[in-house]
Amino acid sequence: MSNTETDSPEVGRPDAQQCMHVLLFAGLAERLGCARLTLNPPWPVTVAELQERLVSEWPELAPVTFRTAVNQRYALDSEPVQPEDEIALIPPVSGG
């Protein structure tokens, strides 16, 4: 592992390259005050485990209903997540 990149906010953290980003939208982004969360879960991890970890790190998520998308598709709780996957939390939709 190399921690030589000086422009990375994760420099110096162990296993920084295993960090993952989680996209937030609409009311969820507003509630958390940002459009992206970064976390470093113990790998391997499933969707359900990731959700649990997110809620424990960001308790503001606890009362909120959301589904999880992996690589832009709704995912099952049992689905495994890889560090390179695009993860998003999808609050109840209201298009149309």
Partner 1 sequence: MIHVTEDSIDLDAVLRAVEGDGEGAVVLFVGRVRNHSREREVTQLDYEAYRGMAESALAELAETALRDHGAQRVAVVHRVGRLKVGEAAVAVAVSSAHRPEAFETCRWLIDTLKEVVPIWKKERYSDGEEWVAEHP
Quick check: 10 and 16 in contact, CB under 8 A?
Answer: yes
Q: Which residues contact 27 (CB under 8 A, 6 or more apart)?
A: 64, 91
Specify the residue, 16 or 67, whose C-beta has the smaller distance to partner 1.
67
Question: How far apart are CB 16 and partner 1 at their closest, in Å?
Answer: 26
Binds partner 1 (CB under 8 A): choice among 7, 62, 73, 78? 73
Q: How far apart are CA 50 and CA 81, in angstroms?
A: 8
Choice between 9 and 95, CB closer to partner 1? 95
Residues 32-71 that bind partner 1 (CB under 8 A): 65, 69
Ramachandran sector of residue 33 (left: φ over 0; alpha: ψ -120 to 50; beta: rest): left
Q: Is 21 in the site for partner 1 (CB under 8 A)?
A: no
Q: Is 94 in the site for partner 1 (CB under 8 A)?
A: yes
